[in-house]
Amino acid sequence: MTRTRNKHLKEPKITSREGVDRLKKCTRKIGKVDPNELDNKYAYIQVTHVTPFFKEKELQRRLTDFEKNNNVYSFMYETPFTKVGKSHGEIHEQFKRRTVLLTTHSFPFVKKRIEVNNKTECILSPLEVAIDEMNAKVADLREVVDLAMPDMKKLQLKLQGSVSAQ
């Protein structure tokens, strides 16, 4: 009897694409979440893309792609916003919330989920957002130019993507 009951509670085996599609059906995009406004009757999940986050000193030690993607405890994601509530706006009104997560275990981990131990946020002003975007473009260009055998197509694509009103 128990076996039958548990069988019906299990999710069917699905691909990650199907899982994402199922999540999209019952989700909505929201900005900053106020935990007091959430209904206790429901379970909420937040799905976002994170990137490894390193302070400048640590980044100088991690030179290879392997070192930048293994034994990582800090991750970052950014959320654009404007003071009037829209996510995107003119360059002079575009702010960015940078959220840094510190985990209890390093990535990669034997389990799929890692508990978040600490969360910090900082707000970037429009000027800081522009500087941050330009620094990212410079880093992208430097990565292509510093290759032993520069890839001209990749360089052309990076240069074309760099010419914008930052």
Band the pLDDT of 33: cuts 50, 70, 90.
confident
Could you tell me if residue 72 is inside a domain? yes
Could you tell me if residue 102 is inside a domain? yes
The predicted structure's pLDDT at residue 99: 94
**Helices 152-162 & 126-145, crossing angle to 10 degrees?**
170
Could you tell me if residue 63 is inside a domain? yes
pLDDT digits (tens, 9 = 90+) for 48-71: 889 999 988 988 898 888 998 899
Instruction: Check: CB of residue 141 under 8 Å from CB of residue 159.
Output: yes
* CA distance linking residue 36 with residue 30, whole number of Å: 15
Band the pLDDT of 38: cuts 50, 70, 90.
confident
> Could you tell me if 102 and 71 lie in one domain?
yes
Could you tell me if residue 140 is inside a domain? yes
Mean pLDDT, to the nearest integer, of 77-94?
87
pLDDT digits (tens, 9 = 90+) for 3-32: 444 444 455 666 667 777 776 776 666 666
Does pLDDT of 139 surpass 80?
Answer: yes
Of 123 and 147, which is predicted with more confidence?
123
Indicate yes or no: pTM above 0.75. Answer: no
Q: What are phi and psi of 127, to 5 degrees?
A: -65, -45
Query: How, if at all, do strands 72-81 and 95-107 pair?
Result: antiparallel
Mean pLDDT, to the nearest integer, of 141-164?
80
> Could you tell me if 53 and 116 lie in one domain?
yes
The predicted structure's pLDDT at residue 4: 43
> Could you tell me if 116 and 144 lie in one domain?
no
Could you tell me if residue 2 is inside a domain? no
Band the pLDDT of 96: cuts 50, 70, 90.
very high
Residues 103-120 as b/e (b if ≥16 CB within 10 A, e otherwise) read beeeeeeeeeebeeeeee
Of 154 and 76, which is predicted with more confidence?
76
State which residues form the domain around 166. 127-166
> Could you tell me if 90 and 131 lie in one domain?
no
Q: How many domains does the chain have?
A: 2
H helix or E strand, kind and range, residue 83: none
The predicted structure's pLDDT at residue 128: 94
> Could you tell me if 100 and 151 lie in one domain?
no
In 26-122, alpha helices (H): 56-61, 65-69
